[in-house]
Amino acid sequence: MKEELSLKEKDMLVMKLLHYFITEEGYNPIILHGVQNEIWLENMEGPYRIVRIMTGYIHNKNQYDFDIFKTKKIMQKIKFKTFTLKMNALSIFVDLGECVDIENFGNINCVNVNNEADIDKSNVILDFFPNIKNKLNFSEKGVELFTKITNDINEKNKQDARQAEEVLSIKKPIVTYALIAINIIMFLMTYVFNAGNYLQTLLNFGALSTTHVVEYNQYYRLLTSAFLHIGVMHIFFNMYALNILGTQLESFYGHIKFLIIYLFCAIVSSLVSILFLDANTISVGASGAVFGLLGAMLYFGYHYRSHLGNVLTRQLIPIIMLNLVIGFMFVGINNAAHIGGLISGLIISNAIGIKYKTTNFEKINGMIVAALSVIFLIYMIFFR
């Protein structure tokens, strides 16, 4: 009878810990196939990226060492899957044998919590979660406590699901279609009003030229050049990419934020181009802005990687790398604009943020970086 009561108390301790980390600290469960007797939780903004609760019995040092080895292997897989360079973890053992001494291993901090009193003795936990002890106190007991904890966790999971559904649901991409229409109209106009010299026609319509921007102060070319194209294949591939990326990103970020991303990346990619363009070379095309959308998708995919699966590592990153390699291999491709667009997409996405994911502190940092980036480019172009 005593053993049965002990097991129930340990199960309740695990439920309380889950309740705290999920409802109070914003951790989310990680689904790992083939893993038994352990619960993995993740919070990218948490003091520990991973909180792991080991419920299985560890009775000797060999088992303990193997458990740490297994934990490291799983963390490596999570790092690769989530495109994460650095990851720390808190591993909580709730059923550790008396002959096993707790040891920390690099980025894995371990703690033994056989009961709630052990939490008061653990600086590893209290230093980063000082309110945990108070949050584990409940007025309910027994079945009522179990019911409350279960309901609270379920409600938190439902709230997260509602938020994810709101962000990920497909909405009508009005801005994307408008941008495609403008690009097509401008492309047709350059042919309709072609005076015989097509390059001169592009210049007349606002193509990017270092001489015209720097010496003649025609700053509008930083943006207008992103709506001009040379040839059917050029505009076809850019508009095809814009349609695919835009219809998704406009849903994820919203109409206004998506437009800000596109225009910001178009301008920044033009600024970067001027740094590397020959004074007699002109540049046109939406590819800088499209690469900016790839950067924005990369930022979004990182924050919603649990919902997007392996899209980040198996699809998006390879596409970006392939396009950059192609840009270096073939003459006539403005890879400076591509790289500038990609980086600016990441920066501006951080500045405008993702609903329910990006904190105000992160947004402010992103705005500062975006402003400094533009100031630096302007200085290098006009005042160096």
Instruction: Round to whole Å and give the CA distance between 32 and 52.
Output: 12
**Sign of the alpha-carbon dihedral angle for 107, 124, 90, 364:** negative
Instruction: Round to whole Å and give the CA distance between 196 and 177.
Output: 31
Per DSSP, the residues of 52-73 read EEE-S-B-SHHHHHHHHHHHHH
Contact partners, residue 273, CB within 8 Å, separation at least 6: 208, 283, 288, 334, 336, 337, 340
The answer to whether residues 324 and 336 touch, using CB atoms and an 8 Å cutoff, is no
Q: Is 338 a catalytic residue?
A: yes
Instruction: Round to whole Å and give the CA distance between 303 and 43.
Output: 10
Which of 287, 344, 349, 373 is catalytic? The answer is: 287
Contact partners, residue 169, CB within 8 Å, separation at least 6: 251
Instruction: Round to whole Å and give the CA distance between 199 and 238.
Output: 19
Contact partners, residue 377, CB within 8 Å, separation at least 6: 268, 271, 272, 275
Which of 19, 212, 229, 338 is catalytic? The answer is: 338
**Residue 180 phi, psi (nearest 5):** -65, -45
Q: Is 307 a catalytic residue?
A: no
Residue type (1 letter), 254: G
Instruction: Round to whole Å and give the CA distance between 185 and 228.
Output: 9
Catalytic positions are 287, 338
